[in-house]
Structure 1
Amino acid sequence: MTWVLLLVTAALTFPWAAAGAARRLADRLPPKEACAAIVSTAVLGAGGTGAALFGLAHVPFLAGLEQLPLAQVATEWPAALPVAALATAVMATQLVLVVRRWCEHRSLLAAAWAEAADAEADGDLLVLPGETPDAFALPGRHRRPGAIVVTTAMLRTLGEREREVLLAHERAHLTGHHHLLSVTTYLAAAVHPALRSLRPALDFHLERWADESAAREVGNRRLAAAAIARAALAASTAGPRRGPLLAVNTGPVPQRVEALLGPVPVRPEAASARAAALGLVLGVVTCAVAAVAIAYGLHEYVELAAEGLRAR
Structure 2
Amino acid sequence: MTVFLALVALALAGPWGATAAARRLAALLPPREACLALTGAAVLLAGGTVAALVALFHVPFLASLERLPLSRVVAEWPAVVPVSGLAGAVLAVQAVLLVRRWYEHRALLARAWASTGDGVADGDVLVVPGGDAEAFALPAFRGRPGRVVVTAGMVRALGPAEREVLLAHERAHLAGRHHLLSAVADLAAAVHPALRGLREALGFHLERWADEAAAGSVGDRRLAATAIARAALAGSAAVRAGGSRNPLLSVGAGPVPQRVEALLGSVPVRPHGRALRVGVVCLVAVTAVSLLSLGLAYGLHEYVEYAAEAVRGR
TM-score grouping bracket, smaller chain normalisation: over 0.9
Q: Write the mapping of 1:281-300 to structure 2, written as runs, cut at 5 A.
A: 281-282=284-285, 284-300=287-303
Contact 1:235 1:248 (8 Å CA) reproduced = no
Contact 1:235 1:249 (8 Å CA) reproduced = yes
Distance in 2 separating the partners of 1:214 and 1:295? 47
Contact 2:21 2:285 (8 Å CA) reproduced = no
Distance in 2 separating the partners of 1:284 and 1:17? 12
Structure 2: which amino acid aligns with 1:264?
V
Q: Which residue of 1 aligns with 2:252?
A: 249
Counterpart of 1:136 in 2: which secondary structure?
A: strand
* Residue 306, structure 1, aligned to residue 309, structure 2: yes
Q: Which residue of 2 aligns with 1:190?
A: 190
Could you tell me which runs of 5 or more consecutive residues in structure 1 were left unpaired when the two chains were aligned. none
CA drift of 1:283 comes to 5.5
Aligned length: 311
Identity of aligned residues (%): 59
Could you tell me which runs of 5 or more consecutive residues in structure 2 were left unpaired when the two chains were aligned. none
Contact 1:37 1:275 (8 Å CA) reproduced = no
Distance in 2 separating the partners of 1:267 and 1:284? 20
Structure 2: which amino acid aligns with 1:236?
S
Contact 2:94 2:190 (8 Å CA) reproduced = yes
Distance in 2 separating the partners of 1:64 and 1:165? 63
Q: Which residue of 2 aligns with 1:166?
A: 166
What TM-score does the superposition give when structure 1 sets the normalisation length?
0.93
Q: Write the mapping of 1:97-176 to structure 2, written as runs, cut at 5 A.
A: 97-176=97-176
Distance in 2 separating the partners of 1:299 and 1:191? 26
Contact 1:46 1:191 (8 Å CA) reproduced = yes
CA drift of 1:229 comes to 0.7
Distance in 2 separating the partners of 1:259 and 1:25? 17
Which deviations, in whole Å up to 9, do the C-alpha atoms of 1:109-167 show, x marking residues without a partner?
11100111111111110010111111000011012111000011111111111110000
Contact 1:165 1:215 (8 Å CA) reproduced = yes
Structure 2: which amino acid aligns with 1:83?
V
Contact 1:120 1:126 (8 Å CA) reproduced = yes
Contact 2:15 2:45 (8 Å CA) reproduced = yes
Q: 1:74 to 1:107 in 2, by over 3 A?
A: same
* Residue 40, structure 1, aligned to residue 40, structure 2: yes
